């Protein structure tokens, strides 16, 4: 029997560990079967994907279904049933667990729960061609790493590798599918070490731990971190963590982690205690905020901080506070996602109580709540899209730092930017650095500090690696500044250049003149804002506060051309 195991990832670099778990379970229960794995993406051409599935001439088709691929998968299911009417189609995964089997075409089977928990009747019925419409797995089955040695070259090369050292979550947040389960199953730590060593032997670029709260047991998390950093290689490790569950010992260790080895996804969700209580999320907000700020100050671990828009008890005023406080924690990536009212979760059963209106199809995004009408939620959503576009890149690091230093309210800033962006049709067009900078220049015209703000935009443009200044930034000619500096700087100026390398230095650099206020703001000069200076932007990059930027050299001609 030839069985096709299929999923559609969000992008090519992702992988789906569930397919490998299903493969192993079927290989054990149906040892004579031929198992074929396909990892497509939701961006693949639909018709080509359909033909690749039918081209295998499968006798059974299994889909792993998630919130991001449900619509694409169900479209495939409908067409596969038309062209392969006799082939059983099996759907499993988080999104399939709560599907209504009666809404699917004839001949479809839903598996609810973890594949390791299926009884012998499933494989027996599959072999006999007598599949029922649904099967429910037993809860809390044991699990192991699903990957076999050939998988690393055949299915996982150039992809993120997902690994779980535990299943379940210590929290019971009512919007999360993990709340349907109770408790956490932790793997034996020696088995975790052994499996990770197998994966690391293949030199993967990224291992993503899918543990819902990796630091739920702080001592265990610390032991695994120490093990990982004792292994050779430059693999990046991704963890989902709870920000209030760090011990001082953990923080001391994390301060010494080499740059580029760890990244944390932090589910803050809200800083409104009433909101967190309404969704059954336990968190020490003061400690969470302090820990995030400390981690950000280390500068060696990439921090991805999540807020959720549309939670119960969250008004525009409380969400404004949440955004302002999250911005002040200075994470590298700040995401403002929409609440998803997932079928089967406790919050979906409380939708009427909370006045939740959400989309009827995946991803079930919230449309209104008792505290936010649709118009208010729409406005906040576009503000979040503004935040997503302008915050989560390397283009405007000094603008963002400037806002923090002058303690300007982030929500108010992004609200004004939202107005500019909507007027400029920003959200319907490609969000290039050039387009985003133009939106910020328009915003600068309304600001009392507009001149300095535009200087910051010019600096950020060049320090991000651009070499040609757009006209709307109103900058002087780099060539004219270069010629002026060539005439007025000495023949040799260590450490920047010697007499023999002066020509090369001036050929490689891009030059711009800035006010003393700008140089002071970006920490390239002392507090004296009256001294303008010249900055050379070099091709080489350096890391500053966890971000890459071009190296710079600063010159003050009035001080006898001494480099700084």
Confidence of residue 543 (pLDDT cuts 50, 70, 90): confident
DSSP string, 215-250: GGSHHHHHHHHHHHHTSSS--EEEEEE-TT---HHH
pLDDT band at 562 (very low <50, low <70, confident <90, very high): very low
Query: Looking at residue 223, what is its pLDDT?
Result: 98
Please write the tens of the pLDDT for every residue from 499-523: 999 999 999 999 999 999 999 999 9
Q: How confident is the model at residue 542 (pLDDT cuts 50, 70, 90)?
A: confident
Give the rounded percent of residues in the chain with a pLDDT score beyond 70.
98
Mean pLDDT is lowest, of 27-31, 418-422, 490-494, for 490-494
**Torsion, CA 403, CA 405, CA 407, CA 410, rounded to 10:** 30
**Fold held by 160-392:** pyruvate-formate lyase- activating enzyme (3.80.30)
Neighbours of 43 (CB within 10 A): 11
What pLDDT shows up at residue 560? Answer: 43
Domain boundaries of the chain, sorted by first residue: 2-136, 160-392, 470-563
Domains 2-136 and 160-392 share a fold: no
Averaged pLDDT, 84-105: 93
Contact 302, 237 (CB under 8 A): no
Q: Does the structure show a pLDDT above 80 at 106? A: yes
What is the rounded average pLDDT of the residues 175-186?
A: 85
pLDDT (0 to 100) of residue 70: 95
| Average pLDDT of the residues in 462-466 | 94
In the prediction, which pLDDT does 531 show? 86
Q: What is the mean pLDDT of residues 444-454?
A: 96
Span 190-246, pLDDT tens digits: 999 999 999 999 999 999 999 999 999 999 999 999 999 999 999 999 999 999 999
Q: What is the pLDDT of residue 561?
A: 40
DSSP character at residue 310:
T
Average pLDDT of the chain is 94
The pLDDT score that the predictor gives to residue 194 is 98
What percentage of the chain reaches a pLDDT higher than 90? 91
Residue 541 vs residue 371, higher pLDDT: 371
User: Strand ranges (DSSP E) for 140-298?
Assistant: 161-163, 166-168, 184-186, 206-209, 236-241, 262-269
What is the three-class DSSP state of 56? coil
Per-residue confidence band for 546, with pLDDT thresholds at 50, 70 and 90:
low
* pLDDT at site 237: 98
Q: Residue 248 is encoded by which pair of tokens?
A: 């001082």
Q: Considering the domain 2-136 in this protein, what is its CATH number?
A: 3.40.50.2300
The answer to whether residue 294 scores a pLDDT higher than 90 is yes
**Is the pLDDT at 34 greater than 60, yes or no?**
yes
User: Measured between alpha carbons, how far is 449 from 283 in angstroms, rounded to an integer?
Assistant: 39
Span 139-166, average pLDDT = 96
């Amino acid at each position: 029997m030839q069985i096709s195991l299929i999923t559609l990832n969000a992008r090519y670099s992702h992988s789906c560990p569930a397919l490998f778990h299903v493969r192993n379970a079927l290989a054990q229960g149906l040892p004579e079967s031929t198992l074929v794995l396909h990892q497509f993406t939701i961006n693949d051409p639909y018709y080509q994907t359909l033909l690749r599935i039918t081209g295998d001439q499968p006798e059974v088709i299994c889909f792993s279904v998630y919130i991001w691929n449900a619509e694409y998968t169900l479209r495939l299911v409908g067409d596969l049933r038309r062209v392969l009417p006799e082939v059983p189609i099996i759907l499993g995964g988080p999104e399939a667990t709560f599907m209504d089997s009666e809404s699917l075409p004839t001949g479809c089977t839903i598996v609810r729960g973890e594949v390791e928990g299926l009884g012998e009747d499933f494989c027996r019925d599959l072999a006999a061609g007598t599949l029922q419409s649904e099967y429910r797995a037993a809860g809390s089955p044991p699990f192991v790493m699903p990957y076999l040695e050939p998988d690393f070259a055949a299915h996982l090369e150039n992809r993120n590798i997902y690994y779980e050292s535990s299943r379940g979550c210590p929290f019971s947040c009512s919007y999360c599918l993990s709340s349907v389960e109770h408790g956490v199953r932790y793997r034996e730590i020696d088995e975790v070490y052994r499996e990770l060593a197998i994966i690391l032997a293949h030199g993967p670029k990224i291992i993503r731990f899918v543990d819902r709260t990796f630091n739920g047991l702080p001592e265990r998390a610390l032991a695994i971190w120490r093990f990982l950093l004792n292994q050779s290689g430059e693999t990046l490790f991704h963890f989902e963590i709870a920000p209030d569950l760090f011990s001082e010992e953990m923080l001391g260790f994390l301060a010494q982690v080499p740059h580029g080895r760890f990244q944390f996804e932090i589910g803050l969700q809200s800083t409104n205690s009433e909101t967190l209580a309404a969704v059954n999320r336990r968190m020490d907000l003061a400690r969470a905020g302090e820990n995030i700020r400390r981690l950000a100050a280390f500068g060696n671990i990439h921090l991805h901080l999540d807020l959720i828009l549309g939670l119960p008890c969250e008004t525009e005023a409380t969400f404004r506070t949440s955004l302002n406080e999250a911005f002040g924690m200075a994470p590298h990536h700040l995401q403002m996602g929409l609440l998803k009212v997932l079928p089967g979760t406790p919050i979906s059963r409380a939708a009427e109580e909370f006045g939740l209106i959400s989309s009827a199809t995946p991803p079930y995004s919230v449309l209104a709540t008792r505290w936010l009408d649709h118009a208010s939620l729409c406005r906040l959503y576009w503000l979040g899209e503004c935040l997503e576009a302008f915050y989560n890149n390397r283009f405007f690091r000094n603008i963002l730092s400037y806002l923090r230093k002058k303690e300007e309210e982030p929500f108010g800033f992004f609200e004004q930017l939202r107005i500019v962006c909507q007027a400029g049709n920003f959200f319907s067009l490609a969000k290039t650095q050039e387009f985003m900078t133009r939106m910020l220049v328009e915003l600068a015209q309304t600001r009392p500090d507009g001149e300095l703000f535009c200087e910051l935009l010019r600096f950020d443009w060049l320090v991000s690696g651009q070499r040609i200044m757009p006209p709307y930034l109103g900058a002087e000619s780099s060539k004219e500044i270069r010629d002026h500096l060539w005439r007025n700087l000495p023949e040799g100026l260590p450490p920047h250049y010697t007499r023999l390398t002066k020509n090369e230095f001036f050929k490689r650099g891009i030059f711009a003149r800035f006010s003393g206020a700008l140089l002071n703001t970006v920490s390239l000069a002392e507090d004296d804002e009256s001294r303008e200076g010249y900055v050379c932007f070099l091709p080489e990059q350096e890391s500053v506060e966890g971000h890459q930027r071009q190296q710079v050299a600063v010159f003050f001609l009035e001080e006898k051309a001494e480099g700084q």
